[in-house]
Amino acid sequence: MCGILAVLGCADWSQARRARVLSCSRRLKHRGPDWSGLYQCEGNFLAQQRLAVVSPLSGDQPLYNEDRTVIVVANGEIYNHRKIRKQFASKHTFSTGSDCEVIIPLYEEYGENFVDMLDGVFAFVLYDTRTKTYMAARDAIGVNPLYIGKGSDGAIWISSEMKALNEDCVKFEIFPPGHLYSSAAGRLRRWYNPHWFAENVPATPYRPLVLREAFEKAVIKRLMTDVPFGVLLSGGLDSSLVASVTKRHLIETEAAEKFGTELHSFVVGLEGSPDLKAAREVADYLGTIHHEFHFTVQDGIDAIEEVIYHDETYDVTTIRASTPMFLMARKIKALGVKMVLSGEGSDELLGGYLYFHFAPNKEEFHKETCRKVKALHQYDCLRANKATSAWGLEVRVPFLDKEFINVAMSMDPEWKLYNPDLGRIEKWVLRKAFDDEEQPYLPKHILYRQKEQFSDGVGYNWIDGLKAFTEQQISDEMMQNAAKLYPHNTPINKEAYYYRMIFERLFPQEPARETVPWGPSIACSTPAAIEWVEQWKASNDPSGRLIASHNSVSANHANGHGNANGNGVVVANGTNGVVVANGTNVVMVANGTNGAAANRITNGKMEE
């Protein structure tokens, strides 16, 4: 994971301008502490802060073609770079071992129409001195962050993080995932156009082995590394499958030749938290070298301002979940590990959040998964990337592999639906795909463990402690004036107010607050899903444990004995016969967990 900054079309070419670009670029040094580089051609600057994971000795940036007329700075992992290198072996002389260098021959061969040929995650800027044009692109889902802005002199600024451009741009915004910006065309355009983007309901039958194979390939390709690595392991389904598949196939990889076949796993939590116990059990089963990190509520509270600075958000759920991850990342980096695999993305693709139990039909279910995947770059991708890159640690997310996404989103959503009569709990299609009796990937009770939100799994006292702390910090009078002080995305509770107060101090510009999405949500839903259950329009806490079906009926769900009705009531019809929640206790959050962001790109152009 690296940090890039490009300033293009500056009217000022002076040393003072160069020094300013360098100063802004250094704000990204946490993303790339291993090296830095800057290219300048007249009023065009391309800077990079490097985290060396692939080819540490020869991959410094900027990258150039043979006659140094094409220049690239990139933050990316291109998993098919060796295949592309072979394709251009007779046409291009590669000067580094960087996986991102393949961007140059692809551009020289295909112009700007090559981005879909890259298999990986990336954010890059390319400048062509021959035509004095440039292009920038971001990966399909937005795993790697990117922002675009305009300076008062008309220069275009493009940066991995907002903090490198917010003070120098009169307007700026999130660079949308799956898009490229062309200076020749003067606009943004979408390069990623998958079949599911139109939200039409697919009809491909569920094929468990196809889903399993796609995921295993996604994990294996992400073991491309020249530095020590590990896996984040919460003990839930997604991280446990990442760990299991990594452990199973590690011996087949070059990484094993360099670093051995022992796999390191990492978990963070309060003493006695659900994740610590579950992760230890999975680690023992898989035989990983397991590292368990503890934190206290006070440790987390003390880190919140740093978390908001690095995450560049005031979204409540994101900050709650980022804080333990931020603390863990520092510990992991201290052990000499520079890359980890993680389980983000599965819940969005497969409808794993508990509120999906109440989807009225498969059409609404599928549309909601589409909305969730489209918004990942503002939530889980942002959290996973920025909370770890704060300490120079790279996170890779195999569930967001392009081919795995295609398989998962092509499936008839009827198979993904929660259906107790057929014994199907959330993410049943994934659980079933890895339910191998002869060569088990995981113990059954782990394979069918119910979803926890990350911020809940690290320990319920973490959320309760945050609420108690912010209750003391923010007065009732402050809340009464919240709409006057913060008319845009007004905080609806004291915790949200506290985070917003810090954010505004760090990023006081109007465009900055507009980069953060907002809107009602229930346990990570989009605002549209709130309409599924009338009683969800009543609360302001985002915790997944507050959804009606959590915990008490999970065992019955696995055995097909639970049911959910349209009023948000979940009843366990098994031997315990427990009514978990009625309509008045099923809650909604209006803190913007997955609301759609106000977007200032119109018809593919950045507004003037």
The set of catalytic residues is 2
Tokens at residue 453, please? 């939100």
End-to-end CA distance of the chain: 32
Contact 134/42 with Cβ under 8 angstroms? Answer: no
Reduced to 3 states (helix: H, G, I; strand: E, B; else coil), residue 490 is: coil
Instruction: Give the integer Cα–Cα distance in Å for 191 and 178.
Output: 6
Q: Locate tokens 């995650």: which residue?
A: 121
* 57, burial (CB in 10 Å: exposed 0-12, middle 13-18, buried 19+): exposed
| Cα angle: 256, vertex 260, 265; to 5 degrees | 95
Q: What is the DSSP letter of 294?
A: E
* 201, burial (CB in 10 Å: exposed 0-12, middle 13-18, buried 19+): middle
Q: Which residues of 72-98 are buried (b: 16+ CB within 10 A; e: fewer)?
A: bbbbbbbbbbeebbebbeeebebebeb
Where would I find the beta strands (DSSP E) of 353-426?
394-396
* 199, burial (CB in 10 Å: exposed 0-12, middle 13-18, buried 19+): middle
Instruction: Give the integer Cα–Cα distance in Å for 559 and 292.
Output: 32
Q: How far is CA 220 from CA 265, 397, 407, in A?
A: 16, 11, 17
